[in-house]
Amino acid sequence: MSKQIFNNSIRNISKSLPRFFSLMIMSLLGVFAFSGLQATAPDMLNSLDHYLDDHNTYDIKITSTLGLSNSDIIELEKIEGIKEIIGSYSKDALVNINNEDIVISISSFSEKINTITLKEGNLPNSNEIVVEENMLKKNNLNIGDKISIDEVFYTISGSVDSSLYFNYCGVSQTRGTTSIGTGVIEYYSFVDTSFLIKIIITAFI
Protein backbone atom coordinates (compact mmCIF):
# COMPACT_ATOMS: atom_id res chain seq x y z
CA MET A 1 0.00 0.00 0.00
CA SER A 2 2.75 2.42 0.94
CA LYS A 3 4.59 1.64 -2.33
CA GLN A 4 1.46 2.43 -4.31
CA ILE A 5 1.04 5.77 -2.50
CA PHE A 6 4.68 6.59 -3.20
CA ASN A 7 4.32 5.75 -6.91
CA ASN A 8 1.14 7.82 -7.18
CA SER A 9 2.87 10.76 -5.51
CA ILE A 10 5.80 10.57 -7.91
CA ARG A 11 3.41 10.33 -10.86
CA ASN A 12 1.40 13.37 -9.70
CA ILE A 13 4.51 15.41 -9.07
CA SER A 14 5.96 14.57 -12.48
CA LYS A 15 2.73 15.74 -14.11
CA SER A 16 2.89 19.16 -12.41
CA LEU A 17 6.57 19.92 -11.82
CA PRO A 18 6.25 23.74 -12.13
CA ARG A 19 3.55 23.84 -9.45
CA PHE A 20 5.51 21.45 -7.21
CA PHE A 21 8.71 23.50 -7.39
CA SER A 22 6.76 26.74 -6.79
CA LEU A 23 5.21 25.32 -3.63
CA MET A 24 8.56 23.91 -2.48
CA ILE A 25 10.33 27.27 -3.00
CA MET A 26 7.55 29.12 -1.13
CA SER A 27 7.83 26.65 1.75
CA LEU A 28 11.62 27.04 1.89
CA LEU A 29 11.31 30.83 1.86
CA GLY A 30 8.87 30.62 4.76
CA VAL A 31 11.23 28.38 6.72
CA PHE A 32 14.22 30.65 6.03
CA ALA A 33 12.26 33.76 7.06
CA PHE A 34 11.05 32.13 10.26
CA SER A 35 14.55 30.88 11.11
CA GLY A 36 15.97 34.35 10.50
CA LEU A 37 13.39 36.01 12.74
CA GLN A 38 13.99 33.44 15.45
CA ALA A 39 17.74 34.09 15.39
CA THR A 40 17.58 37.90 15.12
CA ALA A 41 16.55 38.73 18.69
CA PRO A 42 19.21 36.54 20.42
CA ASP A 43 21.90 37.79 18.02
CA MET A 44 20.97 41.43 18.69
CA LEU A 45 21.01 40.85 22.45
CA ASN A 46 24.39 39.11 22.25
CA SER A 47 25.84 41.93 20.14
CA LEU A 48 24.55 44.55 22.58
CA ASP A 49 25.85 42.56 25.55
CA HIS A 50 29.35 42.35 24.00
CA TYR A 51 29.26 46.09 23.17
CA LEU A 52 28.33 47.03 26.74
CA ASP A 53 30.98 44.69 28.15
CA ASP A 54 33.66 46.16 25.87
CA HIS A 55 32.92 49.61 27.31
CA ASN A 56 32.51 48.30 30.87
CA THR A 57 29.07 49.88 31.08
CA TYR A 58 27.58 50.02 34.56
CA ASP A 59 24.85 47.62 35.68
CA ILE A 60 23.26 49.96 38.23
CA LYS A 61 23.20 53.75 38.45
CA ILE A 62 22.55 55.48 41.76
CA THR A 63 21.75 59.19 41.64
CA SER A 64 20.99 61.83 44.22
CA THR A 65 19.83 65.42 43.81
CA LEU A 66 21.83 66.27 46.95
CA GLY A 67 24.91 64.38 45.77
CA LEU A 68 26.74 61.37 47.16
CA SER A 69 29.80 61.56 49.41
CA ASN A 70 32.88 59.36 49.60
CA SER A 71 31.42 57.74 52.73
CA ASP A 72 28.35 56.76 50.68
CA ILE A 73 30.60 55.09 48.12
CA ILE A 74 32.46 53.21 50.87
CA GLU A 75 29.17 51.90 52.28
CA LEU A 76 27.96 50.81 48.84
CA GLU A 77 31.22 48.93 48.26
CA LYS A 78 30.41 46.77 51.28
CA ILE A 79 27.33 45.31 49.56
CA GLU A 80 27.87 41.69 48.54
CA GLY A 81 28.18 41.21 44.79
CA ILE A 82 29.44 44.73 44.09
CA LYS A 83 32.59 44.51 41.96
CA GLU A 84 33.48 48.19 41.64
CA ILE A 85 31.91 51.58 42.30
CA ILE A 86 33.06 54.79 40.63
CA GLY A 87 31.66 58.22 41.43
CA SER A 88 30.84 60.62 38.61
CA TYR A 89 29.32 64.03 38.06
CA SER A 90 26.60 65.13 35.68
CA LYS A 91 24.59 68.23 34.92
CA ASP A 92 21.81 69.16 32.50
CA ALA A 93 22.30 72.55 30.91
CA LEU A 94 20.74 74.91 28.40
CA VAL A 95 23.00 75.57 25.44
CA ASN A 96 22.42 78.41 23.01
CA ILE A 97 23.06 77.24 19.44
CA ASN A 98 22.08 79.34 16.45
CA ASN A 99 19.99 81.56 18.77
CA GLU A 100 18.05 78.56 20.05
CA ASP A 101 18.19 77.06 23.54
CA ILE A 102 18.52 73.26 23.64
CA VAL A 103 19.12 70.95 26.60
CA ILE A 104 22.21 68.76 26.76
CA SER A 105 23.48 66.35 29.38
CA ILE A 106 27.04 67.07 30.54
CA SER A 107 28.87 64.22 32.28
CA SER A 108 32.38 63.53 33.49
CA PHE A 109 34.08 60.72 31.60
CA SER A 110 36.07 57.84 33.03
CA GLU A 111 38.72 55.56 31.59
CA LYS A 112 37.48 52.68 33.76
CA ILE A 113 33.71 52.58 33.39
CA ASN A 114 31.22 53.70 30.70
CA THR A 115 34.18 54.39 28.45
CA ILE A 116 33.58 56.66 25.48
CA THR A 117 34.83 56.21 21.92
CA LEU A 118 36.55 59.21 20.37
CA LYS A 119 35.41 59.50 16.75
CA GLU A 120 37.10 62.75 15.81
CA GLY A 121 39.20 65.43 17.49
CA ASN A 122 40.59 65.23 21.02
CA LEU A 123 39.35 64.49 24.51
CA PRO A 124 38.55 67.68 26.44
CA ASN A 125 40.83 69.71 28.66
CA SER A 126 39.76 72.71 30.70
CA ASN A 127 37.12 74.86 28.96
CA GLU A 128 36.63 72.16 26.30
CA ILE A 129 33.79 69.73 25.66
CA VAL A 130 33.19 66.65 23.48
CA VAL A 131 29.72 66.06 22.08
CA GLU A 132 27.87 63.33 20.22
CA GLU A 133 28.29 63.36 16.45
CA ASN A 134 24.57 63.91 15.93
CA MET A 135 24.78 67.26 17.71
CA LEU A 136 27.39 68.47 15.24
CA LYS A 137 25.44 67.30 12.18
CA LYS A 138 22.02 68.60 13.21
CA ASN A 139 23.24 72.03 14.27
CA ASN A 140 25.90 72.68 11.59
CA LEU A 141 28.67 72.70 14.18
CA ASN A 142 32.33 71.80 13.71
CA ILE A 143 35.16 70.82 15.99
CA GLY A 144 36.75 74.04 17.22
CA ASP A 145 33.44 75.92 17.40
CA LYS A 146 32.36 77.46 20.68
CA ILE A 147 29.03 76.93 22.42
CA SER A 148 27.51 78.94 25.27
CA ILE A 149 26.68 77.15 28.53
CA ASP A 150 25.39 79.30 31.39
CA GLU A 151 26.66 82.37 29.52
CA VAL A 152 30.19 80.94 29.35
CA PHE A 153 31.74 79.75 26.07
CA TYR A 154 33.32 76.33 25.69
CA THR A 155 35.27 74.90 22.75
CA ILE A 156 34.12 71.67 21.10
CA SER A 157 37.28 69.53 21.03
CA GLY A 158 35.83 66.37 19.50
CA SER A 159 32.91 64.02 18.85
CA VAL A 160 32.32 60.77 20.72
CA ASP A 161 30.09 57.71 21.04
CA SER A 162 28.90 56.53 24.43
CA SER A 163 27.67 53.07 25.41
CA LEU A 164 25.12 54.81 27.65
CA TYR A 165 23.32 55.97 24.52
CA PHE A 166 23.65 53.04 22.12
CA ASN A 167 20.45 53.76 20.17
CA TYR A 168 20.83 55.76 16.96
CA CYS A 169 18.20 58.50 16.64
CA GLY A 170 18.81 60.04 13.24
CA VAL A 171 15.33 61.46 12.77
CA SER A 172 14.00 62.27 16.23
CA GLN A 173 15.66 61.55 19.52
CA THR A 174 15.50 61.85 23.26
CA ARG A 175 18.36 61.33 25.67
CA GLY A 176 16.23 61.34 28.81
CA THR A 177 14.14 63.84 30.71
CA THR A 178 15.11 66.85 32.79
CA SER A 179 13.61 69.61 34.91
CA ILE A 180 14.89 72.45 32.73
CA GLY A 181 14.01 73.85 29.31
CA THR A 182 11.57 71.71 27.33
CA GLY A 183 11.99 68.85 29.78
CA VAL A 184 13.72 66.67 27.18
CA ILE A 185 17.49 66.14 26.84
CA GLU A 186 18.43 66.32 23.17
CA TYR A 187 22.17 65.54 23.17
CA TYR A 188 24.87 64.17 25.46
CA SER A 189 28.36 65.54 26.05
CA PHE A 190 31.40 64.96 28.25
CA VAL A 191 33.94 67.17 29.97
CA ASP A 192 36.94 66.69 32.22
CA THR A 193 35.88 65.72 35.76
CA SER A 194 37.60 68.62 37.54
CA PHE A 195 36.10 71.05 35.05
CA LEU A 196 32.56 69.69 35.55
CA ILE A 197 32.92 70.11 39.31
CA LYS A 198 33.77 73.75 38.66
CA ILE A 199 30.67 74.15 36.45
CA ILE A 200 28.42 72.60 39.12
CA ILE A 201 29.85 74.72 41.92
CA THR A 202 29.49 77.88 39.81
CA ALA A 203 25.83 77.07 39.16
CA PHE A 204 25.08 77.15 42.89
CA ILE A 205 26.91 80.40 43.64
Q: Judge contact between 161 and 148, C-beta under 8 A.
A: no
pLDDT tens profile 150-195 = 777 889 999 999 888 876 555 556 688 888 888 889 999 998 876 5
Q: Judge contact between 94 and 103, C-beta under 8 A.
A: yes
Of 129, 118, 117, the C-alpha closest to 55 is 117
pLDDT tens profile 64-114 = 777 777 788 788 888 888 888 877 788 899 988 888 889 999 988 888 888
Torsion-angle region of residue 73: left (phi > 0), alpha (psi -120 to 50) or beta?
Answer: alpha
Cα–Cα distance for residue pair 203/175, rounded to 1 Å: 22
pLDDT tens profile 116-157 = 899 999 999 888 999 999 899 999 999 999 998 877 788 999
Residue 43 has pLDDT above 90, yes or no: no
What integer pLDDT is reported at residue 203 of this predicted model?
Answer: 40
Nearest 5°: the CA angle 123, 127, 132 is 45
Q: Judge contact between 143 and 158, C-beta under 8 A.
A: yes
Q: Judge contact between 181 and 174, C-beta under 8 A.
A: no
Of 196, 195, 1, 2, the C-alpha closest to 92 is 196
DSSP structure string for 107-131: EE--SSSS-EEEEEE----TTEEEE
Q: At what angle do helices 17-54 and 2-15 cross, to 10 degrees?
A: 90
pLDDT tens profile 46-75 = 887 888 888 888 888 887 777 777 788 788
Rg (CA), the chain: 27
Backbone phi, psi, residue 26, to 5°? -60, -40
Of 107, 100, 174, the C-alpha closest to 134 is 174
Return the amino acid letter for 154. Y
